[in-house]
Amino acid sequence: MNLFSNLEENLILSLLISHHLPDDKLIWHFEKKGLFSIKRAYHIGLDMIIGVSNPCMWSFSVLGKLPSGNPSRSVNEWLISIIPSLDNHKYDLILMLSYAIWAAWNSMLWLGKCDSPNVMVPRTISWWQNFLMVPTGYKWTKPRQGQVKLNINGAWDATHLVGEAITVREGLALAYSRGFQNIIVESDLLQIVQALCSSLLDLSSFISFTHIRRQANEVAHRLAYFSLSSTTPALWFEEPPDIILDVLFEDC
């Protein structure tokens, strides 16, 4: 009994054989170069699961129309189109839902199971509501009229407390050189604030020291770590550097 037809035999015999007679080797036929990769295997496995009828798999029709009026062709395109119109809370919810869908997708791929949308969506909304309850009121506040704030943060390779103390000294020297008198020094390092408040020097008439939360000192923190990669001093009096613009907008 012949395994191949006459046509197949002729096609097989017409295949050219290399004159170099290389050794046989395994070929990963999903790639043009024949090389196996975990990334490619992941996508192949994903395609195989999509092709299997499973009641747990997520399915949806067209999500909606884009601002242009055309139907969206993918989740990614739809998300990009609606994000500009979302407020901060809805944007946070979209991010959490996206993570939950990604986690369910991977659970289906690697474990063969995932929660249904009826379970996953309420749980994600619960996460979102708990997130909204987290206090976020620790922001920098502007000083009163006639006062100037000096926010400090020291990023040093040496002892942090020593670096912070040097930062206070340099900051006050700069403030005095600019003619400022009524100065509020703010730091998120409690030890330096306590040390300065207990100092024998009586500076209370024109300087006060205040401990603040790390979240309210983000500008100073970012500039301090920027200085680690800089070899020369930098001063900005008119326009702030780009690296702190986003934080300045949040503080305002």
DSSP 37-71: -HHHHHHHHHHHHHTS--TTS-------B-TTSSB
Decide: residue 217, CB within 10 A, 0-12 exposed, 13-18 middle, 19+ buried.
buried
Q: How confident is the model at residue 225 (pLDDT cuts 50, 70, 90)?
A: confident
Neighbour tally for 247: CB within 10 Å:
18
User: What percentage of the chain reaches a pLDDT higher than 70?
Assistant: 81
Strand partners, 210: 186
Q: Which residue has the higher pLDDT, 137 or 248?
A: 248
What are the sequence ranges of the domains in the chain?
Answer: 24-53, 56-132, 148-251
pLDDT in tens, 95-108: 888 888 888 888 88
Residue 60 pLDDT greater than 90, yes or no = no
pLDDT in tens, 111-146: 878 788 888 888 888 888 887 776 666 788 889 888
Q: Which residue has the higher pLDDT, 44 or 227?
A: 227
From the list 109, 108, 182, 85, the residue with the least C-alpha distance to 117 is 108
From the list 136, 172, 154, 132, the residue with the least C-alpha distance to 223 is 154
pLDDT at residue number 30: 75
pLDDT at residue number 148: 93
**Single-letter residue type at 92:** D
What CA dihedral angle connects 164, 170, 172 and 173, to 10 degrees?
A: 170
**Which SS3 state, helix, strand or coil, does residue 152 take?**
strand
Q: How confident is the model at residue 41 (pLDDT cuts 50, 70, 90)?
A: confident
pLDDT at residue number 52: 46
pLDDT at residue number 53: 42
pLDDT at residue number 156: 61
pLDDT in tens, 159-168: 667 878 888 8
In sequence order, which ranges of the chain are alpha helices (DSSP H)? 6-13, 38-50, 75-82, 88-111, 117-132, 160-177, 190-197, 218-227, 245-251
pLDDT at residue number 6: 84
Pairing of β 148-152 and β 183-187:
parallel
Q: How far apart are CA 186 and CA 138, in angstroms?
A: 13
Computed over every residue of the chain, the mean pLDDT equals 78
How many alpha carbons fall within 13 Å on the CB side of residue 110? 7
pLDDT in tens, 181-220: 899 999 988 888 888 887 756 666 788 888 888 888 999 9
Q: How far apart are CA 211 and CA 185, in angstroms?
A: 9
Q: How far apart are CA 120 and CA 133, in angstroms?
A: 20
What CA dihedral angle connects 242, 244, 248 and 251, to 10 degrees?
A: 160
Phi, psi of 248 (to 5 degrees): -60, -40
